[in-house]
Chain A
């Protein structure tokens, strides 16, 4: 109106020719909620793991949602925002999102309900991702104690959630599903011949 300043796009002529542009990835979405767990008062700890060639430009790459106790239905809704901006110089180490679902009971005790992970989608657009979770299982004495007191075995190091190396040592049980909606925007990947 008063000749308001317009954000001028960088002219695609000389300015862009001699500065190579980096490939950038935007992950914008939310952790919608979880369902299928034995109890419903749940919260989720999440994080993103990438390879060495990736650099986080903005956004928080880990976080914890609030505790949600649904009044009706089985699904606990968090609507936790995920907004990340990565830049990379290689395709290896594509980001992986790992989750831990915990249960908080009426007494304030927290108990692990599941580990899960999913790859961040590599094609641009809107993706609805369902991430299944599992929980380590102890011996039958521990299981009986778990039904009364809670608790249960947890992983010593959470790397196993998103790597498959030593998984065969684990004894687990299937738990519920976490739903996420992720929007992926990829920039300058096509300049390097990446089709996705």
Chain B
């Protein structure tokens, strides 16, 4: 029947950590003839009819089918050598045996003859040691070509394929990393993939009954490869309840055989599996304890209702269109916090809110002159929402900075002012801020700037953005003259830390904005206290329960189930 076959004979890859010697494959071959198909079909029909209570007919006896020779089923273990009729005939006489392997086969065959004989007839195997395994890749070509030689790479790969699996792991030598004169063997192993692989072929002798032992009638049924990393490749895959595979023999009388493969390796016993899982669980618990012992168990948390903002940043580089050559740039910056933010000086005495970078001589990239500062700064600020009903957005800290230049003659000039609002979103930010410098009308100040240095400076940094003394609605800077100078790049990493985020995630609420979470902190504070107490009590109860002996819990569970039943 054409639709009773499985045509997917691709190879399948499995992974396993267990030893490959536990692998057992059950292989079943059966000759498929037209009469067999017909009688099977009839039998199925009759069976269904019998179920419906129809005609009762005596079916064709299936005796003719299983003549004993047209079917064979065998369980094969990993690298288990089963001899074919051809090999038995060949290795009967000792004179033929040349290699030690062949002599070993001879002794085994003699021993088998003396005892009950082979347990296989048609199905036999070629293990990793046989010659078939070695040259089968070489001789068979993958494309339809009249005469094909194996490629250079195929030749190399064939030589290294059949290495034993117990190779030592590769260790890197501390000295002499380079081999200046590689040997031939070294070249072979380094230029190709040399994962050691063990191969096994399960073959079938498809000759006619009584005339087994012809080498031309051998047919490759299944190939299993296993490498040292626990990767097992089997081609074709196990049937797993699908239709059997179709094997066709060559020759003048083409026959069709049905092939079924099944994995019958013993599984792990449930007690052992449970023991293994308990061991893993133990290991993880111990690892956690070890981690805790390293750093301690408390993670420092801000007080409830407070958002902690932690910013790690650096002043990267500054670009300038230089008016004068040979300039050095330095910059100084200052962080200003609006009123709702406050600093906790007691815990962070070393965090400074202002700084001066080094003086850096510029270099020219393209048309611009660049100075690299790479100056680190980091600060921490705490935000507390005082008034819950206030609707306005809080102001975030602002960083004001000023770029100065120092030239070869030690003249000091002001190159520009700029500001940067610390971003309110968390994560990494790369921000480029442009700078400007104030100008005075008239040529006197420019002449002074050119010859002796010195330039107008701002008294109050906050004028750069919004002056601190500004109280109206519209800011007007009319009359203030400036000139664009350049830009400065900052890299900022912002982290926000608050207890409110923990509660939100444990309660699985969808997070609104940070401010809404922090709003109502007094109410949340009391709720939080209750939650804390509950968690503590629950933890104590769990610890007490853990310390009880296990059978005590089991007997109580049993009593409960009995009382329920």
Contact = CB atoms under 8 A, between A and B. Distances in A.
B296 interface: yes
B76 interface: no
Contacts of A167: 355-358, 375
Interface string B349-373: 0000001111111110100001111
A196 B426 contact: yes
B484 interface: no
A108 to B, nearest CB: 17
B511 to A, nearest CB: 9
A18 B542 contact: yes
Interface in B248-294: 263, 265-268, 273, 276-277, 280-281, 284-285, 288-289, 291-292, 294
A80 interface: no
A189 B426 CA distance: 14
Contacts of B373: 132, 134
Give the interface size class of chain A: 35 or more
B398 interface: no
B271 to A, nearest CB: 13
A145 interface: no
Nearest to A36: B365
Interface stretch (B52-60, B144-152, B307-315, B414-422): B307-315
A60 interface: no
Nearest to B545: A14
Given A22-B291, A132-B372, A173-B363, 14 more contacts: A1-B16, A3-B268, A15-B284, A18-B543, A19-B288, A87-B295, A89-B299, A119-B314, A167-B355, A168-B357, A174-B360, A174-B361, A195-B495, A195-B498
A159 to B, nearest CB: 11
A116 B315 CA distance: 12
Contacts of A122: 312, 427-428, 493-495
Nearest to B317: A132
A127 interface: yes
Nearest to A20: B297
A194 interface: yes
B491 interface: yes
Given A4-B18, A117-B376, A164-B376, A174 B299 contact: no
Nearest to B406: A171
Interface string B491-506: 1011111111110010
B232 interface: yes
Given A2-B23, A174-B371, A192 B502 contact: yes
Contacts of B543: 18
A36 B443 CA distance: 39
B359 A170 contact: yes
Given A122-B493, A172-B358, A174-B362, A5 B17 contact: yes
B378 interface: yes
Given A3-B268, A4-B17, A192 B299 contact: yes
Interface stretch (A39-47, A91-99, A146-154): A91-99
B316 interface: yes
A57 B291 contact: yes
Given A3-B273, A172-B361, A193 B301 contact: yes
A106 interface: no
Interface of B: 14-18, 22-23, 232, 263, 265-268, 273, 276-277, 280-281, 284-285, 288-289, 291-292, 294-301, 308, 310, 312-314, 316-317, 328, 330, 348, 355-363, 365, 370-378, 380, 426-428, 491, 493-502, 505, 538-539, 542-543, 545-546
Contacts of B360: 134, 172-174
B300 A1 contact: no
Contacts of A118: 314, 374, 491
17 contacts: A1-B18, A3-B273, A5-B276, A5-B280, A14-B545, A19-B285, A22-B294, A87-B295, A92-B348, A119-B314, A123-B426, A123-B427, A132-B372, A168-B330, A171-B359, A175-B372, A194-B497
Given A2-B23, A53-B295, A121-B493, A164 B375 contact: yes
Given A19-B289, A22-B295, A174-B363, A193 B17 contact: no
Interface string A165-187: 00111111111000000000000
A131 interface: yes
A127 B491 CA distance: 12
Interface in A101-140: 115-119, 121-123, 127, 131-134, 137
B323 to A, nearest CB: 18
A94 B313 CA distance: 11
A192 B539 CA distance: 18
